[in-house]
A and B are shown apart, each in its own frame.
Chain A
Amino acid sequence: MAYLDVLPNEVLSNILDMLTTKEKFRAREVCSRWKGVVDELVPFYRVILCNENYDEVAMRFGRRRVLSLGIPSISNDYNKDCVPIQNLSNLRHLSLASSLSVDAMRDLVTRADKLIELQIYYGHCTNWQYWHDNDKISALLPALRKVKKLLFPQLTLADLTMLLNSWKPIIQSEMPELQHWEIDVTLWNPPQFNFFELATFKPHLRELMIQDALHFGGLRSYNRITAVWDVKSRNTNGLRKLKLIGSASLVINKTPQLENLLSNQYNLEELQLYDSNVPSPGEGYTMSIIEPVLTKSMETLHTIRLDIGAEQVMSADDFDMEIFSQLAKLRELHLSVRVVRYWAMYGDRKDVLRRIKNCNTVISATLRKLVLHGFTFSAQEADDCITEIAKLDLEKVELLRSSIPEISTVWKWFSRRARKMGLKKGVQAKTLYLPAEFIGVEFYFEHTKSSTC
Chain B
Amino acid sequence: MALVRVISSDGAAFLVSQRLAKRSGKLKTEIETFRKSSDNSEAQPEIRIVTIRAEILRLVLQWLQQHQNDPVLPANQNEQDGRGDAEMGQSQWDRDFLAPMDLGIVMELILAANHLEVKGLLDITCKLVESKITGRTVDEIRTAFKLKSDFKGNEEEQTRLENRWCVEN
Residues of A within 8 A of B (CB): 1-8, 11, 14-16, 18-23, 25-35, 63-65, 87
Answer whether residue B36 sits at the interface, using C-beta atoms and an 8 A cutoff: no
Q: Are A19 and B134 in contact (CB under 8 A)?
A: yes
Candidate in A5, A8, A15, A20 with the most chain B CB atoms within 10 angstroms = A15
Closest to A64 in B: B165
Closest to A22 in B: B166
Closest to B151 in A: A32
In the complex, what distance in Å separates the CA atom of A14 from the CA atom of B122? Answer: 10
Q: Are B126 and A15 in contact (CB under 8 A)?
A: yes
In the complex, what distance in Å separates the CA atom of A27 from the CA atom of B141? Answer: 8
In the complex, what distance in Å separates the CA atom of A80 from the CA atom of B146? Answer: 41
Contacts of B86 in A (CB 8 A): 18
Contacts of A4 in B (CB 8 A): 107, 129, 145, 147
In the complex, what distance in Å separates the CA atom of A419 from the CA atom of B127? Answer: 55
In the complex, what distance in Å separates the CA atom of A31 from the CA atom of B142? Answer: 9
Q: Are B167 and A26 in contact (CB under 8 A)?
A: yes
Q: Are A14 and B126 in contact (CB under 8 A)?
A: yes
Q: Are A23 and B161 in contact (CB under 8 A)?
A: no
List 10 A-B pairs, minimum CB-CB distance, nearest first: A18-B130, A63-B165, A25-B163, A2-B146, A25-B166, A29-B138, A2-B147, A15-B126, A3-B145, A3-B103
Q: Distance in Å from the Cβ of B160 to the closest Cβ of chain A?
A: 6
In the complex, what distance in Å separates the CA atom of A32 from the CA atom of B108? Answer: 23
Q: Are A32 and B150 in contact (CB under 8 A)?
A: yes
Candidate in A22, A27, A29 with the most chain B CB atoms within 10 angstroms = A29
Contacts of B145 in A (CB 8 A): 2-4
Interface residues on B, range: 35 or more
Q: Are B133 and A23 in contact (CB under 8 A)?
A: yes
Q: Are A19 and B162 in contact (CB under 8 A)?
A: no
Q: Given A2-B148, A27-B141, list of 6 further CB < 8 A pairs?
A: A15-B129, A25-B167, A29-B138, A31-B148, A34-B147, A63-B161
Candidate in B104, B127, B129, B148 with the most chain A CB atoms within 10 angstroms = B129
Q: Are B141 and A63 in contact (CB under 8 A)?
A: no
- Dominant SS among interface residues on chain B: helix
Closest to B164 in A: A63
Q: Distance in Å from the Cβ of A242 to the closest Cβ of chain B?
A: 39
In the complex, what distance in Å separates the CA atom of A20 from the CA atom of B165? Answer: 15
Q: Distance in Å from the Cβ of A287 to the closest Cβ of chain B?
A: 49
Q: Are B163 and A28 in contact (CB under 8 A)?
A: yes
In the complex, what distance in Å separates the CA atom of A21 from the CA atom of B160? Answer: 15
Which of B107, B129, B138, B151 interacts with A26 by CB under 8 Å? Answer: B138
Contacts of B126 in A (CB 8 A): 11, 14-15, 18
Closest to A89 in B: B162
Contact A31 to B166, CB < 8 A, known contacts A11-B114, A18-B130: no
In the complex, what distance in Å separates the CA atom of A34 from the CA atom of B148? Answer: 11
Q: Are B149 and A15 in contact (CB under 8 A)?
A: no
Q: Distance in Å from the Cβ of B98 to the closest Cβ of chain A?
A: 14
Answer whether residue B156 sits at the interface, using C-beta atoms and an 8 A cutoff: yes
Q: Are A23 and B148 in contact (CB under 8 A)?
A: no
Closest to A18 in B: B130
Which of B122, B146, B155, B166 interacts with A21 by CB under 8 Å? Answer: B166
Q: Are B104 and A3 in contact (CB under 8 A)?
A: yes
Closest to B163 in A: A25
In the complex, what distance in Å separates the CA atom of A28 from the CA atom of B107? Answer: 21
Candidate in B86, B110, B142 with the most chain A CB atoms within 10 angstroms = B110
Answer whether residue B111 sits at the interface, using C-beta atoms and an 8 A cutoff: yes
Closest to B155 in A: A32
Q: Name 24 interchain pairs, CB-CB below 8 A, sorted by A.
A: A2-B145, A3-B103, A3-B104, A3-B146, A4-B107, A4-B145, A6-B107, A7-B107, A8-B114, A15-B133, A18-B130, A19-B133, A22-B167, A25-B167, A26-B137, A29-B163, A30-B138, A31-B150, A32-B150, A33-B150, A35-B159, A63-B161, A63-B164, A63-B165
